[in-house]
Structure 1
Amino acid sequence: MKSAGADAKGILDYLRRNTGKKTQLRDVHNTVAKINRERRASTSDEQRTEALIREFCLISGNSACMFTNDGTSVIDVVCIQSARQKRLFRAFPEVILVDTTHCTNRNLYKWLLIFGKLMLLTGTIVHHSILERETETNLLLSIGQFKKENPSWNNVRAIVSDKDFNEKEVLAEAFPNARQLLCQFHVIARLRLKVGELADITIEKKQAVKASCHLMMKSRNAMEYKNHKDTMLRLLGGNSSDPFYKYSQANWELCKDEWVDYHRDNVPHLSNHTNNRIE
């Protein structure tokens, strides 16, 4: 009955009418789950994935595709998007959050998520991709499929990701009208970590340097930023050769337009400063 398309309530009604037993809905769910487990036991991950995707695509408006490596027959990318996700992105395309998760499955595939901002401080996932590896080629396939299924991609104006996201240039090239922004949560977390690892000062001064980094991020103009940066250097003993100061100059100064507030004020990010909600 399940294979013929009957839902759990339909199966329950049939069982009660034909057996006279007071079967419960949870019994039907448990039986269906047991049958599905038995069926899956005799199939490979690839076969089950293909079956699930085919079932998903039977629903009107849903789309999914798999990209397979011709040389190894390994599935490199799986892209999934429901009709509802397409409608939501079409209605609110201005800001997207992008991130990948790691070590969430036994095959070690990466899960690429695109999170759409529906309104101030609210949003939802609008695209799923599963990547065998987070390479430029695989990201191009995933983003390319997203653009193919969503013609309003050209209206994206801001993309929030973290500094660990590989191949950020893929996003910059794919969305030429969008500003690239860094997740401020990850920025300050990384800076605080590096202060502890690199700064050659006392613990008390390290705490003060961490506070200065946060104030630099929240600066409302260039003068505020310079003052907080000067304070940080003074706490480091005025030593521009301090390992942390050299690290911050090399890794964060040149991209401050992506993480410092006053550089982001003209970007329609809808007050969204982190992609942490994806995780």
Structure 2
Amino acid sequence: MELPEPEPAEMTAPEDHVPHSRDVQAHAASVDAELFETWERFFEYLARYQSDTHQVFRQRTSITAASRNQELATRGDPPVMKLIPTSFDKYYIGFICTYGWSRASRSKEKRKKYFVKSTGCRAQLSATVVWNARALPPAFQVKITNQATIHNHSIGQGVFDNHPGNRRIDDEGVVGFVDELHIAGAKPKLIMQYLMRRTEKDVTLRDVHNLVSKLKEARRGAATVEARLEAVLRAFCSRKRNTATVYVDDAKLEQTITFQTRQMRRFFEAFPEILLVDATHNTNDARYKLFSFMIHDVFGHVRANSHALMENESAECLTDAVSSFKTFNPTWDKIKVIIIDKDFGEMALLRKAFPGARILLCVLHEIKYLRTEMVKKEYGVLDNEKVEDAVDMMLKAKTEDEYTTGLKYLYFVVEGKQTLQEEDAPAPEHPFMHYFHKNWYSCRQMWSSFGRVDIPHLGNNTNNR
């Protein structure tokens, strides 16, 4: 018993809508009508013809009726019967297969192309407004004047249904319901399943993302970014005791925007001892940094306390964020510990703003930075696992003597130097040890356990919560 030949990939994969079989010749049925009273009637027929024959045509070129009449006038005084009525608007429209469309690529060939639509297909169709003397009464009509129906790619129901133009959702009622689903927080996959059941189209996640993006743009309207920002902040501050502050630079451009809810302030009033500070990048199109203050409550949970969108991590922007935080949180002087990243550029600013607090470094970030450095070729560190063991010994050291033991072990692993217990650690010679002393040894009390044994940090060793 012979098994049926499998369908081409483009027949069954909704996402793979581009026909790959470019070495075939697929013949489609020709049109069975030739003349139409108006362009509207022609386009109605073209839509049915494309659906029945599984072809997709796109307009390639056109000539307006006014241009045609002007051309006739330049040839001399044309008879009135030769002038195209303005009701037709177009004199000629040329269509080509959607897979025959080609355009200059703007790609720099740095990333692989997954969807190259053009196959160089030469199938085409054209329609022209002509005088039909046989019509009753004689009149201008739209006539299909040229057609080529041989395609160089496979055609079929699967390819036709999977084409992006045929997957598009045009029903306003369905689109409106999708908008409500998105506002309510529905996931893209749930929206996709609804659209597939409601429209019986092969909708993909990419279609859902594109549709949601258009709906979000429509909700925002044509207002400028500044106008939308003002509207959002005013709506935020309209709620009871929510606060927001906008700081501008000398050019009157927003450099720092801070915001805090009433509930955030209540949590800080109750648990002000531990403050975690972290910055998140690439959260918005304007590339502003999201600078967050977080607190540690009695239940062991970390809660956001205040946020600031900053143009950069300069001293001016950080001063704005800290000033706003202190203004709306009067119990800031009860802060005992502040945990930050090692790459926090303005540590002196925090020390000055919070003189009664001890500043500690995030342990997770320290381990991450050291792992990144030790694998660099210029250091030539061969046994990375032993280096990590030495770092772990220093991290967990309860006294400075234990820390020194871990440091000596690091010297032994990297430089091969053996040091007695009563001897001091040697001077660094290896490039990695120079890096370690420059960046980590001087601040060892901020990340090693022996430097925080007398601090109420509640077990917090990281701000990455």
Fold conserved between structures, TM > 0.5: yes
Is 1:30 the counterpart of 2:176 in the alignment? no
Tell me, in whole angstroms, the C-alpha distance in 1 between the residues paired with 2:393 and 2:454: 19
Tell me, in whole angstroms, the C-alpha distance in 2 between the residues paired with 1:82 and 1:193: 38
What is the TM-score normalised by the length of structure 1? 0.84
- 1:1-279 → structure 2 map (5 Å cutoff): 27=177, 30=180, 33=183, 37-71=217-251, 73-119=252-298, 121-197=300-376, 198-202=378-382, 205-236=383-414, 237-238=416-417, 240-277=428-465
Query: What number of residue pairs does the alignment pair up?
Result: 250
The CA deviation at 1:200 is 2.9
SS at match of 1:119: coil
Tell me, in whole angstroms, the C-alpha distance in 2 between the residues paired with 1:35 and 1:53: 21
Q: Which runs of 5+ in 2 are unaligned?
A: 1-175, 184-213, 418-426
SS at match of 1:276: coil
* 1:241-267 superposed Cα distances (whole Å, 9 cap, x missing partner): 101111111111110110000111111
SS at match of 2:294: strand
Report % sequence identity: 32
* 1:193-236 superposed Cα distances (whole Å, 9 cap, x missing partner): 2222254343xx22201211111111111221111111110112
* 1:128-162 superposed Cα distances (whole Å, 9 cap, x missing partner): 10001111011101110110001000000000001
Counterpart residue number, 1:5: none
RMSD after superposition: 2.2
The CA deviation at 1:80 is 0.2
**In 2 relative to 1, CA 195–45 (structure 1 residues): closer, same or farther, beyond 3 Å?**
same
Tell me, in whole angstroms, the C-alpha distance in 1 between the residues paired with 2:243 and 2:363: 33
AA aligned opposite 1:99: D
Query: Residues 375 and 381 of structure 2 are in contact (CA less than 8 Å); yes or no, is this contact kept in structure 1?
Result: no
SS at match of 1:209: helix
Query: Residues 119 and 270 of structure 1 are in contact (CA less than 8 Å); yes or no, is this contact kept in structure 2?
Result: no
The CA deviation at 1:31 is 8.5
AA aligned opposite 1:168: M
Query: Residues 255 and 311 of structure 2 are in contact (CA less than 8 Å); yes or no, is this contact kept in structure 1?
Result: yes
Tell me, in whole angstroms, the C-alpha distance in 1 between the residues paired with 2:245 and 2:329: 14
Give the helix-richer structure, 1 or 2. Answer: 1
AA aligned opposite 1:182: L
**In 2 relative to 1, CA 180–31 (structure 1 residues): closer, same or farther, beyond 3 Å?**
closer
What is the TM-score normalised by the length of structure 2? 0.51
Tell me, in whole angstroms, the C-alpha distance in 1 between the residues paired with 2:375 and 2:406: 19
* 1:3-51 superposed Cα distances (whole Å, 9 cap, x missing partner): xxxxxxxxxxxxxxxxxxxxxxx95971995987434131112111110
Query: Residues 374 and 381 of structure 2 are in contact (CA less than 8 Å); yes or no, is this contact kept in structure 1?
Result: no
The CA deviation at 1:76 is 0.6
**Deviation larger for 29-38 or 52-61:** 29-38
Tell me, in whole angstroms, the C-alpha distance in 2 between the residues paired with 1:98 and 1:177: 16
Query: Residues 335 and 356 of structure 2 are in contact (CA less than 8 Å); yes or no, is this contact kept in structure 1?
Result: yes
**In 2 relative to 1, CA 82–222 (structure 1 residues): closer, same or farther, beyond 3 Å?**
same
